[in-house]
Each structure stands twice: as structure tokens, then as C-alpha cells.
């Protein structure tokens, strides 16, 4: 099994709703988004998936969240903007263009700091 | 599948017993402990498991090993204090409070340096 | 399940062939090689596999690629030197000495930068 990984970052504000102490105050993070695709076979060009192409998609997505208030982003405004929810949001936006490309699964990790992340991993079937 | 990760560090001394060359001399590391919990579903609050709560548990455990001689810690004194053994020790201490919380598995990685770690991963059933 | 990880780095030049834009020009990276072995049981000495021994094997392999043009390395000269291909090359060279040692699987990740890697993971049976 092979995998390809790319990372990007974005600066965003957010606040949680519920029993989350100081995280319910408006604050923000330098988020790091890590994206991994997995599959069984390399193509004739020696790639599982072009890292440059994956990087463009990931940077586009990160750019769409950069210097934003996540609580106002369409698709996140109706949910609690936990790292899990942001990972889920990013997973759903990346997955469509990665299907039917010979890939088995997709992982999206959203780091809120060097010491904490949440991730979603699921098949691309 | 979702996962949540937190990390903490502790400064500890140890020495190995057996055919481990210079590692049999008393020495130490700035250990980094990485903890990952995995599960299938997010709760209504948008979390798999509260990162803040997990962070408290991990920091408590790291604190209990901070500025200690691992060879004298109860639960490690009778084993060789390899990174695997420390990961196993930490896994066993974190697992009880994580069971019956809708989580599937727990990973504990113990980094002895930026270039080396050992980990234990097992189900929380 | 336990795992042991070691990392090493090497400085190498390469160029891709095909539709890879600027990556088709001769360039290079400070590559980081991450190697993980996995298995079910610790030995009586408290190790899955001696981190020091694994580190020597990984450093030897990294050393063999250090300050080289990957396109001229035997075993890589006939393929496109993508990160996937380099991971595959390194996987094949590390695996033989790791078989029949009670290990289940081997992962090799080849980082081209802090933001991109490719990996191969397969069983050691």
C-alpha cells in the first residue's frame, strides 16, 4: 500500500458552544491541515497521485478558510466548530475530486496547535 | 472514522539492562508522549472526545513521570524501561478511563528523541 | 500491537520525467526517511525490535543515498524518482533483514519537504 501526504496551513478564528471553558470565547489558531491519500498501486509515471496536484487542492481549501471566522463559513455555521467538525468539513470537500482515481481512502487531520489535532479517515468508495 | 490526538512531554532518566551499549548507562530524554483515540461517531457537541479533557489526562500522566528516574517508578521498576515498555505502561494507565466512552482504540507513542519512538496501539473493548 | 520508529535524512538531487512542471528540472531535497516496524509482542528484553539496530540499518540506507543524484542510483535509474518510487526502493532494501524477526509490517515514508511525503506500507510475510 502506498500513501501520499501534503500539508497546508490557515489562520482562522472560532469559538465553541457548550461546556468547553475558555474555548467558548472567540479565539483562533494557526491551523495545520494534513491530507493523506492511500492506494494499492503506482501508475506508469511512478506516482500514486501527483503530489503537486494534491497540494494545489489542499492549498485551495486551506486558502478558503484563511483569515476567516469559521463560525461564519457556510457548511460550518450550523455545527460546533470543533477540530473534528473542521476535519469532517474538509474531508467532504476534498473527497469528490479524489474518487475514481484508484485511491482507497482519505485522511484529513486538523491541527489546532503543535499538541492537538482531530482527524477523519474514511474510504473513497 | 475520527481520531483525536494530544501530546505532552516529560523529562526523565533511565537506563536499560542487557545488550544495549551506551543505553545501559544512566541517561535521559526529553520524552514526548503522543496519545490518539479513535472512534466512529461524533457526539451532538461535535466531538469524538473532548480534546481538553484528554489533554488533562495526558498531562497528568506525563507529570507523574516528569523529572523521575523511570527505573524507580512503580510499574516500571520490574521491567526494562525501553520506549516500548514506557508506551505499554502509559497505555495501561490511560485506557481505564477511556473505556465505555464510544471509543474503539487507543495509541500511545513515546518519543525518546525527534528521531525515535515506540508505540502501543490496541482496542479499548 | 507495538511499533518502533526511527528517522534519518539524506541530501539528494533528482529530476522527474513527464508532466511534472518544474520538478522535471534537476533539483534536490533534504529528504527525511521515516521507518516504522510493527508487531504483536515484546521480547523478554522489553523490545519489539532494537531501536539502535533499526537506526543503524536506516542510517546505512540513508547514507547510501546521501549527496547522490537519485536518477543515477542503481535500482532507481530505470524508474521515475518520485517520492513513492524512493519509498518503494527503500522498502525493498530494508525488508529482507527484517523478515523472520517477529514483525508484521514495515512502513517507509520519504519526506521531500516538511509539507510532503510518500510512503509504502506492506506486510513482512
What's the complex ipTM?
0.95
Q: Is the minimum CB–CB distance between A121 and chain B shorter than 8 Å?
A: yes
Query: Taking CB atoms and an 8 Å cutoff, what residues of chain B touch A114?
Result: 7
Q: What is the pLDDT of residues C39-85, one digit of tens each?
A: 999 999 999 999 999 999 999 999 999 999 999 999 999 999 999 99
Q: What is the pLDDT of residues B63-94, one digit of tens each?
A: 999 999 999 999 999 999 999 999 999 999 99
Q: Is the minimum CB–CB distance between A7 and chain C shorter than 8 Å?
A: yes
Size of chain C, expressed as the number of residues it contains: 125
Are residues C36 and C120 in contact, defined by beta-carbon separation less than 8 angstroms? no
- What are the Cα distances from residue C40, in Å, to A91, B115, C18? 32, 22, 42
Q: Classify the C-alpha dihedral B69-B70-B76-B82 as positive or negative.
A: negative
Q: What is the pLDDT of residue C125?
A: 84
- Distance separating alpha carbons of residues A88 and A113, to the nearest angstrom: 18
Q: Is the minimum CB–CB distance between B70 and chain C shorter than 8 Å?
A: no
How open is the CA angle A8-B47-B58, to the nearest 5 degrees? Answer: 85
Query: Taking CB atoms and an 8 Å cutoff, what residues of chain B touch A85?
Result: 42, 46
Are residues A66 and A11 in contact, defined by beta-carbon separation less than 8 angstroms? yes
Are residues C110 and C117 in contact, defined by beta-carbon separation less than 8 angstroms? yes
Position A125 pLDDT exceeds 90: no
Mean pLDDT value across residues C86-95: 98
Query: Taking CB atoms and an 8 Å cutoff, what residues of chain A touch B59?
Result: none
Q: What is the pLDDT of residue B24?
A: 95
- Distance separating alpha carbons of residues C20 and C35, to the nearest angstrom: 27
* Residue-averaged pLDDT of chain A: 97
- Distance separating alpha carbons of residues A104 and A106, to the nearest angstrom: 7
* A1, A48, A51 member nearest C122 (Cβ): A1
Rounded to a whole number of angstroms, the distance from the CA of A81 to the nearest CA of chain C is 25
Measured between CA atoms, the residue of chain A closest to residue B2 is A120
Q: Measure the N-to-C terminal CA separation of chain A; round to a whole number of Å.
A: 16
Q: What is the pLDDT of residue B125?
A: 83
Query: Taking CB atoms and an 8 Å cutoff, what residues of chain A touch C23?
Result: 52
Mean pLDDT value across residues A24-50: 97
Q: What is the pLDDT of residues C13-26, one digit of tens each?
A: 999 999 999 999 99
Task: Report the DSSP pairing between strands B105-113 and B116-123.
Answer: antiparallel
Write out the H or E segment, with its range, that includes residue C86: helix C83-98
Amino acid at each position: 500500500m502506498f500513501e501520499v501526504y501534503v500539508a497546508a496551513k490557515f489562520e482562522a478564528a472560532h469559538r465553541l458552544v457548550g461546556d468547553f471553558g475558555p474555548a467558548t470565547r472567540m479565539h483562533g489558531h494557526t491551523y495545520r491541515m494534513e491530507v493523506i491519500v492511500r492506494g494499492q498501486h503506482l501508475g506508469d509515471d511512478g506516482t500514486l497521485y501527483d503530489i503537486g496536484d494534491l497540494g494545489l487542492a489542499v492549498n485551495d481549501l486551506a486558502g478558503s478558510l484563511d483569515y476567516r471566522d469559521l463560525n461564519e463559513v457556510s457548511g460550518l455555521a450550523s455545527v460546533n466548530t470543533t477540530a473534528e467538525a473542521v476535519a469532517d468539513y474538509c474531508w467532504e470537500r476534498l473527497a469528490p475530486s479524489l474518487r475514481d482515481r484508484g485511491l482507497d481512502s482519505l485522511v484529513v487531520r486538523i491541527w489546532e496547535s503543535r499538541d492537538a489535532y482531530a482527524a477523519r479517515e474514511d474510504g473513497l468508495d
